[in-house]
Structure 1
Amino acid sequence: MMALAELFGMTGQLLWLHFIVFLRAAPAISLFPGFGDGSLPARVKLMMALMLTVVTAPILGPDLAQTVSDPPPLAWLVLTETGIGLLIGIGIRMFLLALQTAGSIAAQATSLSQILGNAGIEPMPAMGYLLVLGGIALAMMLGLHVRLAELMILTYRLFPVAELPEAGAVASWGVKQVAGAFGLAFTLAAPFVIVSVLYNLTLGIINRAMPQLMVVFVGAPVITGAGLGLLLVLGPSMLRLWIEALGAFMANPFGGG
């Protein structure tokens, strides 16, 4: 009987440990690129969150032993851990939004924004859809899911269980992430914007020199071909810059020393 009671006690502690880790892992998975897409069923996302929990919980066992033996109030635990998980997920999701924004800027600059504009769950131009699909595939090939497990383990050193981060620091971090995402998007789409400016200046000069020529009909195929050519040439470099920025964030997500 003593052995059975001890076994039940160990089982309860293991369940508490996995439950605590799951509260932080599930929100991160729900916003994670690839795993958190709207095209995936909720059951698949739940399975991914459970798998991440099973992988990381044994490593976090010694660090969370005190919390497991003396757990905080359930409502407070759910609030704090879910909030931190959402914070992690939003930080990673901003990079996917940066890639989408870069594709939208490039498509708008090269008059390709209406081609296949409804591809995917989230409406976006074809350029954005291709960049997002390529970015997710490249990230998974380079082991982004493994980096997520490492990041989850790191967050417990930065944010202990049942402790909310400082509101001012979170606000400052959020503003920095949004600014960085838009900066990255404009950096990736800069060649397309430059080509668009040169194209419109050239059309304006031609129109002034030859008013009777329908420069729009002549120039439209040029900018369309130039946009597709730039995507073919610069696409790998854009994805490389994006994956490097994402890797830097995964290695140091909250800017610590």
Structure 2
Amino acid sequence: MNMTETMLWHGFLVFLRVGAAVSVLPAFGETSVPPRIKLGVALAFTAIIAPAVPVFETAPPGVGEIARYTATEGLIGLLMGISVRMFVFALQTAGTIAGQSTSLAQLFGGASGEPLPAVGNVLALGGTALAVTMGLHVYVAQFLIGSYILFPAGVFPAREIMTEWGVPQVSSAFAMAFRLAAPFVIISAIYNLMLGVINRAMPQLMVAFVGAPLITAGGLFLLFLVAPALLALWWGALQGFMINPVEGLR
């Protein structure tokens, strides 16, 4: 192939991986983002990433080569995007746990495109806004450039790598969700223990109706207090993962 064909082939292969990743990345891959915007973002990332990636084989590609690269690059891009998306899932899960613990599960639930409790919506939206403000696009470009070291182009991900790298990401996401929701779970446990003591002391008092406004107001006030710290902790974990995604393999 000549220089122009080589550059077009190289850019096409990079676009396959980048486009698949952008479709599920936080902020860029949201359902509320129009497809044309996603396409523009994918092309912009391709223009940034392609010069930083070694040029692929220059032999004229056949139908089999195109099909193989399309399958492998699309799959790898989805894996990389989902691995980052898991951090948003952690925020949403933490919000669901917090909402169920503090009787906020149905307050303004489903206000966005996804049927989440209010706390989950607030945390997911706040985390996404924080990530974009802190330069998410820079970390995404670095993350996708480094993905060619972990997953070479045209090669299906090895089962060993997926076991040692992918599975811990899922478990760590749920662990992070519980850590983020821990203040709400602790407050809920204390509240229910106090409610049980009062109910034992005064059986004739409808303590559930008296305490419902208290736990709701307390949950909102606790969210106001701890949300900045929770989002800072979440962003630190996301930033560390995107800088060094292979840390779990060591």
| TM score, norm. by length of structure 1 | 0.92
Letter in 2 for 1:163: V
| Corresponding residue number in structure 1 for 2:146 | 154
Name the SS for the 1:112 alignment partner. coil
| Corresponding residue number in structure 2 for 1:4 | none
After TM superposition, give the deviation of residue 71 of structure 1 in Å: 4.6
| Corresponding residue number in structure 1 for 2:135 | 143
1:33-52 residue pairs with structure 2 within 5 A?
33-52=26-45
Indicate conservation of the 8 Å contact 1:101/1:128, yes or no.
Answer: yes
- 1:19 pairs with 2:9: no
Q: Pick the structure with greater CA Rg.
A: 1
Indicate conservation of the 8 Å contact 1:67/1:161, yes or no.
Answer: no
After TM superposition, give the deviation of residue 52 of structure 1 in Å: 0.5
1:1-257 residue pairs with structure 2 within 5 A?
9-60=2-53, 63-64=54-55, 66-69=56-59, 71=61, 73-255=65-247, 256=249
Indicate conservation of the 8 Å contact 1:98/1:185, yes or no.
Answer: yes
Q: How far does the alpha carbon of each residue in 1:41-74 deviate from its partner, in whole angstroms, 9 at most, with x for none?
A: 11111111111001111222xx12x424465711
RMSD value over aligned CA atoms? 1.4
Q: How far does the alpha carbon of each residue in 1:118-158 deviate from its partner, in whole angstroms, 9 at most, with x for none?
A: 11111101111111111011101111111110111111122
What is the distance in 1 between the residues matched to 2:203 and 2:78? Answer: 57
Counting matched residue pairs gives: 247
| TM score, norm. by length of structure 2 | 0.95
What is the distance in 2 between the residues matched to 1:159 and 1:37? Answer: 25
What is the distance in 2 between the residues matched to 1:115 and 1:68? Answer: 57
Moved over 6 A (4+): none
Which 5+ residue runs of structure 2 have no aligned equivalent? none
Q: 1:68 to 1:96 in 2, by over 3 A?
A: farther
After TM superposition, give the deviation of residue 77 of structure 1 in Å: 0.7
What is the distance in 2 between the residues matched to 1:153 and 1:68? Answer: 20
What is the distance in 2 between the residues matched to 1:232 and 1:31? Answer: 29
Identity of aligned residues (%): 52
After TM superposition, give the deviation of residue 161 of structure 1 in Å: 1.3
Name the SS for the 1:31 alignment partner. coil
* Structure 1 range deviating more: 236-245 or 152-161: 152-161
Q: 1:74 to 1:166 in 2, by over 3 A?
A: same
What is the distance in 1 between the residues matched to 2:166 and 2:145? Answer: 21
Letter in 1 for 2:43: L
After TM superposition, give the deviation of residue 189 of structure 1 in Å: 0.3
Which 5+ residue runs of structure 1 have no aligned equivalent? 1-7
Letter in 1 for 2:27: G
